[in-house]
Amino acid sequence: MNKMLTNDQLAQWDRESFFHPSTHLAQFARGEAPQRIVTGGEGVFIEDRDGKRLLDAFAGLYCVNVGYGRTEIAEAIAKQAHELAYYHAYVGHGTEASITLAHMVLERMPKNMSKVYFGMSGSDANETNIKLVWYYNNILGRPEKKKIISRWRGYHGSGLMTGSLTGLGLFHKKFDLPLSQVIHTEAPYYFRRPEADMTEAQFTAHCVAELEALIEREGADTIAAFIGEPVLGTGGIVPPPEGYWAAIQEVLRKHDILLIADEVVTGFGRLGSITGSEHYGLEPDLITLAKGLTSAYAPLSGSVVGERMWKVLEQGTDENGPIGHGWTYSAHPIGAAAGVANLELVDKLGLVTNAGDVGAYLNTQMRDALAQHPHVGDVRGEGMLCAVELVEDREARRFYEHPGKIAGAVVGKMVEKGVIARAMPQGDILGFAPPLCLSREEADRVVEVTTAAVHEVLGD
């Protein structure tokens, strides 16, 4: 860090030179949007260049699962960088770190998973997964079976294919997305059910009926795969309604449609289970991993391929030569070293258990503090994920006319009080996904600040 630069100078360069992702470009350039230059972090706290210390109740972008400032991971990265910063993984090359990590990942995945392909981000892991699904169906002589079903409000990345899979309007608008191979079905979002008097079980039946109708309309022989997050994340932090995954999987099996479990958020402990697949009894053909794989100490993702697909992929290369898919940075040694140290730390600190225990506490406390507020429609969560949905009228389940404004104001107030939450897109939803090492005292602080900010913005 160049301490010679003044904060004002850096802030000006930032506005002039840096294209920030997911940012209001014009407002930022005019100096009207939030700007924060982050300098350090320890445990669940980050610190900025103005010396402000904030409890990060969103773990960056739900990724710094072990918390900030872990020397074990920093040292593993430094050691790897000194020994061998880079070598590629093409044509059979590897490093001790990448091979060890592949082994460790498979030990933690559901049974019947066979191999791990490493990339850099959740988006590229999902690109890989869709390419593998297409490759698979081409080898099987089913070139028509290519469409991918995703859910509205699902989040799977922001590339061309993955931005198409993402079921949020902002990611499509003006980008000419979604691509034609992607079709969307109902979000399993009970609070936003179409009829107020539906029970959870009835809503699940409704989601299943919508899926079956879509398959019927499009033709099962044109549909290759279904992709879903075990718990909807960016689309609102929404655990599935009762019986959802069992019923969906039954439909997919009936129509020979592959299941891709996008565990970028849920992988490695966030739900209080090692994977969301284990948590909800999913038997996926492919699993997408990123974030918690390295706790974001270095960029690394994983596409985990199930046994059934793997056999077919192998057969494809016997016929066609090496698989034509690879990134320069696949299995980057520094990312892999970070991954090994991170997974060891998750075990050593018992973070999966802590996520379940403290996550349940956080959810209970949040519900007790806010569920009865006249502008709180729903408090929901699972493990170390929690959401508070704000509404104009609780009884009528009427949402605010300009989605995002109220949640934005609450989140802004919270930052003033020293806690970071996230205003989730497409609604007024306060999202919480703290590091898995959160303590009960820190959970209390999150609830206290959230409650105070909700009362200040929306009254009592």
The residues that touch ligand PMP, with contacts defined as CB under 6 A, are 61, 121-123, 126, 155-157, 229, 233-234, 262, 264-265, 290
Residue 228 in tokens: 């879903």
- Nearest residue to ligand PMP on Cβ basis: 122
- Tell the smallest beta-carbon distance from residue 230 to ligand PMP (Å): 9
Whole-angstrom Cα distance, residue 52 to residue 182?
Answer: 44
286 or 290: CB nearest ligand PMP: 290
DSSP 239: P
- Kindly report the number of other CB atoms within 10 A of residue 71's CB atom: 9
Long-range contacts of 94-97 (CB under 8 A, 24+ apart): 94/331, 95/331, 95/333, 95/336, 97/333, 97/336, 97/337, 97/339, 97/340
Are the beta carbons of 143 and 133 closer than 8 angstroms? no
- With b for 16 or more beta-carbon neighbours within 10 A and e for fewer, the 139-153 pattern comes to beeeeebbbbbbbbb
- Tell the smallest beta-carbon distance from residue 116 to ligand PMP (Å): 16
167 or 233: CB nearest ligand PMP: 233
61 or 409: CB nearest ligand PMP: 61
- Tell the smallest beta-carbon distance from residue 3 to ligand PMP (Å): 31
Edge-to-edge strand ranges of the sheet holding 376-382: 376-382, 385-390, 429-432, 422-424
- Tell the smallest beta-carbon distance from residue 53 to ligand PMP (Å): 25
- Tell the smallest beta-carbon distance from residue 20 to ligand PMP (Å): 14
158 or 249: CB nearest ligand PMP: 158
Q: How far is CA 197 from the centre of its chain?
A: 31
- Tell the smallest beta-carbon distance from residue 235 to ligand PMP (Å): 9
Whole-angstrom Cα distance, residue 13 to residue 46?
Answer: 22
What do you get for the CA distance between the two ends of the chain, in Å? 44
Residue 201 in tokens: 């079980």
Are the beta carbons of 289 and 264 closer than 8 angstroms? yes
With the C-alpha atoms ordered 33, 34, 39, 40, is the resulting torsion angle positive or negative?
Answer: negative
225 or 449: CB nearest ligand PMP: 225
Residue 211 in tokens: 């899926």
287 or 457: CB nearest ligand PMP: 287
Alpha helices in 321-350 (DSSP H): 333-348
Q: Note if the bond before 178 is cis, omega within 30 degrees.
A: yes
- Tell the smallest beta-carbon distance from residue 123 to ligand PMP (Å): 3
370 or 433: CB nearest ligand PMP: 433
161 or 370: CB nearest ligand PMP: 161
- Tell the smallest beta-carbon distance from residue 158 to ligand PMP (Å): 7
- Tell the smallest beta-carbon distance from residue 449 to ligand PMP (Å): 24
121 or 273: CB nearest ligand PMP: 121
